[in-house]
C-alpha cells in the first residue's frame, strides 16, 4: 500500500468535506439543491486571491473577509430571490439556482477574465517528510482549517440557541413556527451561513488550486458526490464523504488511470444513489 | 357559463393556424438566406430537445437535469458508426435512437425510483460519467474529438437536408407529445406527478410508465444529437455532453409552459430567437444574460408563456360571459 497516495487523498478529502458542508446544510434544512454554491466557492477563492495580490494579506487571514462578504451575498440572494421561488417547488429552485450560478460566474469572467491565477504565499513549497511520506505544510494546514470549521459549525448547531432553532426548522418548519421560531429568518440565516462556509472553502482551495471562473464548476460535481456519499444534512457525513472521495480519487489516479478519476467518482455517485440514497451515515438531517 | 362552446369555437382555428405555420416553415427555406436556414435548424433542434425533456419534466414531474447525456450518446453513436464502420447516415441515426432509448430504459429502472433532488443529481452524475468515459476510450477519438464524413452535395443542398431533417423530427416530437398527452401513458404520468402513491393504488404501473416516458424522451434527444453530429461534422465530449444543453432545454420548457404540447416549442423559439437577435453578438456575457433570464422567468413567469396565455384567455371568457349575462 502506498501511504503517500492515501495521505494525499485524505488531505484533499478534508477540503472536499468543507466544500460540501454548506450544500448539505441547505439541502437538509431548506430542502434545496443549491447549484449556486459553485459560484460562491469561486468568489471566495477570488477574494483571497485579490487580497493577497493587492495588499499581500496572508491567505489564512482572508477567511473572515470571505465569510462576511459571502454571508451578505447569501442573505441578499435568499431574501430577494430564493424566498420568492420556494413555493414553486424544487424544479424551479434547481433552475433558479443554476441561473444564479451562471450569472455570478459570468460576472466574474467579465470582471476578472478567464486567466488562471494562483495564490503563492512564501510557505507554499515547504513540507515535512515522515517515514518517506511527504506532507506539504500548506495542505496539512488546510486540512486542519477545514476540520476546525466543520467542528465549529457542529458546535454552533448543537450548542447555541440559534443552532437549535435551525435544527428545529429542519425537522419541521410548521412546528418550529408554532413554538415561536421565525423560520423565514432561519432560512435566510441558513442560506447565508452555507454561502459563507463554501466561500471559506473557496478561500482555502485557492491556495492549492489555480483560480479561474470555472473553479466552482469543477468543485460542484465533487460536492454532489460528497454530499450523496455522506448523506445530505449530515455534517460528519460530509467529512467522511470528503475523505472517501479524496482517497478514491487518489487511488484511481495512481492505480487505474488518471483519466478515469472523475468517471469513477461519478459512477460512485450514481451507484450510491441507487443502492443507498440516504448516504453512508444512514440518517437524514436530525429527522425529517 | 358555456365553456364547451368556447372550446369548440377555438379548436379549428388553432388547427388552421398550426397547418399554416407548418406550410410556412416547410416552404421558407426557398425564400431565405443560408444564415437563417442555419438559425432555424438550430431552433428546431432546441425545440426538439425541449419537447423531449417536457415528457419527463412536464408530464412525469421528474427533473432530468442531465438529459443532455442522450444528445451526446446519439451524436457519438452516429460519429463512431459512420467513421469507424462506414455506415451511412440513416442507419446510424436509427442506431443512435435505439441506443439512447435502450440506455434510458436500462438505467431508468433503478434511477427512476429516486425522487426529487436525488433523481436530478443522479442524471447529472450519469451525464458526467458518460462524458468522462467517452473522453477516455479510444474509439471515440477521446478528448481530441472526432470528425464525421461531410454530407455529399453543395452547401445549399446540405443546408436544406439538415433543415428538413430537424423540421421533420420536430413535427414528429410534437406529434408524439400530443399522442402521449392524450393516451393512457399521459394520464398515468400526470397521476404520477400529482401523487405517486395514489397512482400506484389506482393501478398505474408507475415504474414502467416513467421508464417509457424517459425512453421516448431519450430516443428523441438521441436522434437530435445524431443529426446535429452529422451537421457539425466535428464532435468533442465537452461540447456534446455539456450540462448546458439540458439546462437550456429546461429553461425553454419552463418559459413555454411545462406539460403543454406547444409550450416547449414556443419557449425554444422565443429564447433562441431572442438570443440570436439580441445577445449572440456579445459572446462574453452570453451565459450571464441566460442566467438573468432564468432568474426573471422563475420570479415573474413561473407557469410559463402558455400558463400566462391560459390565464388571459380565461379572464377574457369570464368577461365575455359576464357581459353576455348582464
pLDDT digits (tens, 9 = 90+) for A132-178: 788 888 888 889 999 999 999 989 988 999 998 998 888 888 888 88
* Amino acid B6: pLDDT: 47
* Amino acid B2: pLDDT: 44
* Amino acid B222: pLDDT: 95
**pLDDT of B225 higher than 60:** yes
* Amino acid B3: pLDDT: 46
The verdict on a CB contact (< 8 Å) between A91 and B57 is yes
pTM over 0.95: no
Partners of residue B120 in chain A, C-beta under 8 Å: 33, 94
| R_g (Cα) of chain B, nearest Å | 21
Q: How far, in Å, CA of A72 to CA of A28, rounded?
A: 21
Domain B30-318 has CATH 3.30.450: no
- Which of B65, B110, B117 is the mutation pick for testing A, counting most A CBs within 10 A? B117
pLDDT digits (tens, 9 = 90+) for A157-169: 889 999 989 988 8
* Amino acid B250: pLDDT: 87
Residue B155's CB: how many other CB atoms inside 10 A?
Answer: 9
Partners of residue A256 in chain B, C-beta under 8 Å: none
* Amino acid B146: pLDDT: 86
List the single residue in B with minimal CA-CA distance to A77. Answer: B295
Judged on CB neighbours under 10 Å (0-12, 13-18, 19+), B144 is: exposed
* Amino acid A283: pLDDT: 58
**Could you tell me if A84 lies within 8 Å of chain B, comparing CB atoms?**
yes
Judged on CB neighbours under 10 Å (0-12, 13-18, 19+), B323 is: exposed
Decide: B215 and B40 in contact? Cβ < 8 Å.
no
Average pLDDT over residues A191-213: 92
Average pLDDT over residues A234-262: 87
- Torsions phi, psi for B235 (to 5 deg): -125, 145
* Amino acid A287: pLDDT: 37
Partners of residue A96 in chain B, C-beta under 8 Å: 294-295, 298-299
Chain A residues 8-67 with CB within 8 Å of chain B: 27, 31, 33
Compute the 3-state secondary structure of chain A and give helix, strand, coil in percent, each to the nearest 5. Answer: 75, 5, 20
pLDDT digits (tens, 9 = 90+) for A39-82: 999 999 999 999 998 988 888 889 999 999 999 999 999 999 99
**Could you tell me if A110 lies within 8 Å of chain B, comparing CB atoms?**
yes
CATH ID of A3-118+139-275, from 2.40.50, 3.40.50, 1.10.3470, 1.10.3210: 1.10.3470
**Shortest distance, CA B24 to any CA of chain A (angstroms):** 34
* Amino acid B98: pLDDT: 95
Q: How far, in Å, CA of B245 to CA of B167, rounded?
A: 19
Give B202 or B165, the one with higher predicted confidence: B165
Domain ranges of chain A: 3-118+139-275
pLDDT digits (tens, 9 = 90+) for B18-44: 888 888 888 888 888 788 888 899 999
* Amino acid B11: pLDDT: 59
Query: Which of A95, A224, A274 is opposite residue B251, by nearest beta carbon?
Result: A95
Average pLDDT over residues B69-85: 92
pLDDT digits (tens, 9 = 90+) for A86-122: 888 888 888 899 899 989 999 999 898 888 888 887 7
* Amino acid A256: pLDDT: 83
**Could you tell me if A266 lies within 8 Å of chain B, comparing CB atoms?**
yes
**pLDDT of B249 higher than 50:** yes
Query: In degrees, to the nearest 5, what angle opens at C-alpha B149 toward C-alphas B145 and B153?
Result: 140
Q: How far, in Å, CA of A24 to CA of A170, rounded?
A: 12
Compute the 3-state secondary structure of chain B and give helix, strand, coil in percent, each to the nearest 5. Answer: 80, 0, 20
**pLDDT of A285 higher than 70:** no
Amino acid at each position: 500500500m502506498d501511504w503517500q497516495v492515501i495521505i494525499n487523498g485524505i488531505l484533499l478529502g478534508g477540503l472536499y468535506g468543507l466544500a460540501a458542508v454548506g450544500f448539505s446544510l441547505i439541502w437538509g434544512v431548506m430542502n434545496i439543491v443549491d447549484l449556486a454554491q459553485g459560484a460562491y466557492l469561486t468568489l471566495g477563492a477570488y477574494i483571497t486571491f485579490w487580497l493577497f495580490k493587492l495588499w499581500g494579506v496572508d491567505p489564512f487571514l482572508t477567511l473572515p473577509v470571505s465569510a462576511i462578504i459571502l454571508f451578505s451575498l447569501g442573505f441578499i440572494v435568499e431574501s430577494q430571490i430564493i424566498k420568492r421561488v420556494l413555493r414553486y417547488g424544487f424544479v424551479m429552485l434547481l433552475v433558479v439556482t443554476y441561473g444564479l450560478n451562471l450569472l455570478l460566474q459570468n460576472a466574474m469572467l467579465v470582471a476578472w477574465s478567464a486567466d488562471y491565477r494562483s495564490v503563492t504565499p512564501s510557505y507554499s513549497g515547504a513540507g515535512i517528510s515522515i517515514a518517506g511520506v511527504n506532507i506539504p505544510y500548506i495542505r496539512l494546514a488546510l486540512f486542519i482549517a477545514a476540520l476546525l470549521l466543520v467542528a465549529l459549525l457542529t458546535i454552533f448547531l448543537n450548542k447555541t440557541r440559534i443552532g437549535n432553532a435551525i435544527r428545529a426548522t429542519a425537522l419541521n418548519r410548521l412546528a418550529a413556527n408554532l413554538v415561536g421560531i421565525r423560520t423565514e429568518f432561519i432560512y435566510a440565516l441558513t442560506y447565508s451561513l452555507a454561502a459563507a462556509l463554501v466561500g471559506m472553502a473557496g478561500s482555502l482551495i485557492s491556495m492549492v488550486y489555480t483560480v479561474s471562473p470555472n473553479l466552482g464548476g469543477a468543485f460542484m460535481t465533487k460536492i454532489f458526490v460528497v454530499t450523496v456519499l455522506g448523506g445530505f444534512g449530515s455534517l460528519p457525513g460530509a467529512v467522511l464523504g470528503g475523505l472517501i472521495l479524496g482517497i478514491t480519487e487518489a487511488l484511481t489516479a495512481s492505480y487505474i488511470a488518471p483519466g478515469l478519476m472523475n468517471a469513477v467518482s461519478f459512477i460512485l455517485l450514481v451507484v450510491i444513489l441507487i443502492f443507498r440514497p440516504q448516504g453512508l451515515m444512514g440518517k437524514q438531517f436530525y429527522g425529517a | 357559463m358555456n365553456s364547451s362552446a368556447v372550446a369548440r369555437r377555438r379548436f379549428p382555428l388553432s388547427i388552421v393556424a398550426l397547418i399554416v405555420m407548418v406550410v410556412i416553415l416547410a416552404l421558407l427555406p426557398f425564400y431565405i438566406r443560408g444564415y437563417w436556414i442555419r438559425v432555424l435548424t438550430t431552433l428546431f433542434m432546441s425545440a426538439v430537445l425541449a419537447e423531449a425533456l417536457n415528457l419527463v419534466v412536464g408530464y412525469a414531474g421528474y427533473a432530468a437535469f442531465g438529459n443532455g447525456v442522450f444528445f451526446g450518446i446519439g451524436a457519438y453513436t452516429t460519429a463512431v458508426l459512420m467513421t469507424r464502420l462506414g455506415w451511412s447516415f440513416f442507419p446510424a441515426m436509427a442506431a443512435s435512437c435505439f441506443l439512447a432509448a435502450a440506455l434510458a430504459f436500462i438505467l431508468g429502472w433503478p434511477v427512476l425510483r429516486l425522487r426529487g433532488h436525488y433523481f436530478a443529481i443522479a442524471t447529472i452524475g450519469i451525464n458526467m460519467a458518460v462524458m468522462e468515459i467517452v473522453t477516455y476510450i479510444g474509439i471515440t477519438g477521446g478528448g481530441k474529438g472526432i470528425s464525421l464524413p461531410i454530407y455529399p452535395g453543395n452547401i445549399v443542398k446540405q443546408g436544406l437536408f439538415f433543415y428538413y431533417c430537424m423540421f421533420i423530427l420536430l413535427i414528429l416530437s410534437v406529434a408524439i407529445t400530443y399522442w402521449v398527452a392524450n393516451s393512457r401513458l399521459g394520464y398515468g404520468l400526470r397521476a404520477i406527478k400529482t401523487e405517486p402513491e395514489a397512482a400506484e393504488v389506482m393501478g398505474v404501473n408507475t415504474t414502467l410508465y416513467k421508464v417509457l416516458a424517459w425512453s421516448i424522451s431519450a430516443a428523441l434527444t438521441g436522434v437530435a444529437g445524431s443529426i446535429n453530429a452529422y451537421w457539425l461534422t466535428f464532435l468533442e465530449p465537452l461540447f456534446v455532453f455539456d450540462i448546458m444543453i439540458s439546462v437550456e432545454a429546461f429553461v425553454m420548457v419552463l418559459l413555454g409552459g411545462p406539460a403543454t404540447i406547444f409550450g416547449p416549442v414556443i419557449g425554444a423559439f422565443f429564447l433562441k430567437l431572442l438570443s440570436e437577435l439580441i445577445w449572440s453578438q456579445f459572446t462574453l456575457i452570453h451565459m450571464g444574460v441566460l442566467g438573468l433570464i432564468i432568474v426573471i422567468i422563475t420570479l415573474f413567469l413561473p407557469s410559463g408563456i402558455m400558463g400566462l396565455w391560459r390565464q388571459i384567455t380565461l379572464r377574457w371568457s369570464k368577461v365575455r360571459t359576464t357581459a353576455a349575462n348582464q
